[in-house]
Amino acid sequence: MELQKFKNILEKYYEGTSLIEEEKQLKSFLDQYSGDDADLNEAKIFFGIINNDSTESVEIDFNNITNTKSVKKIKKLYAVISGIAASLIIAFSLMFLLNTNKTPIVYAYIDGQPITNKQEALKHSQQALLSLQSNLNKGTNKLNHVNKINKPVELLTVKN
């Protein structure tokens, strides 16, 4: 009898015509019910799910989410910056090497114009040094006359 009574309340609940007091009674009955009636067992599960959903708490660790996302962002940014820096270093190094290799050696300047041809620079260098040499020789060769002083010195020495 009691079983049929609560099945009627259950039917009224599904139809949406049950009273709140009747629903409370039904819930209380279903919490203790352990029989084989399929409708009541199904209702027991239904009411259990609704109740669990209403009391279940959702714990979301916002700090963890925020930190994880920040770390990932920073790591990504670091990787991008490192990549750009490495590319720039390689590019500048190549430019420097290419420019260094291209710059010819200036051996001399003639009337302000750079001379990178060895033969031409050598010709002018020889002329310059020969000019220095010949003028120096004019003076130093005459110094040989100083040796003539030795003769009278020798004579004087012997005499004494």
Partner 1 sequence: MAQQSQLNSIFDKYSGQEGYTSVYITSYMFELFSKLADEEDFDNVTKGLEAIKILTANGSSSQKKAFYDEIDKALPASVYKDFMIVKDGGQTVVFKVRDEGDKITEFVMIVEDEHEPVLLFLQGDIDLAQVAKMSKSMDIKGFEHLEKVEEK
Binding site for partner 1 (CB under 8 A): 105-113, 118-119, 121-122, 124-133, 135-140, 142
Q: How far apart are alpha carbons 123 and 107 in whole angstroms? A: 11
CB of residue 147 to partner 1, shortest distance in Å? 16
Q: How many residues does the chain have?
A: 160
Which burial class, exposed, middle or buried, applies to 47 when counting CB atoms under 10 A from its CB (0-12, 13-18, 19+)? Answer: middle
CB of residue 120 to partner 1, shortest distance in Å? 11
CB of residue 150 to partner 1, shortest distance in Å? 20
Q: How far apart are alpha carbons 80 and 85 in whole angstroms? A: 9
| Nearest to partner 1 of 73, 123 (CB atom) | 123
Q: How far apart are alpha carbons 12 and 16 in whole angstroms? A: 6
CB of residue 97 to partner 1, shortest distance in Å? 15
| Nearest to partner 1 of 3, 97 (CB atom) | 97
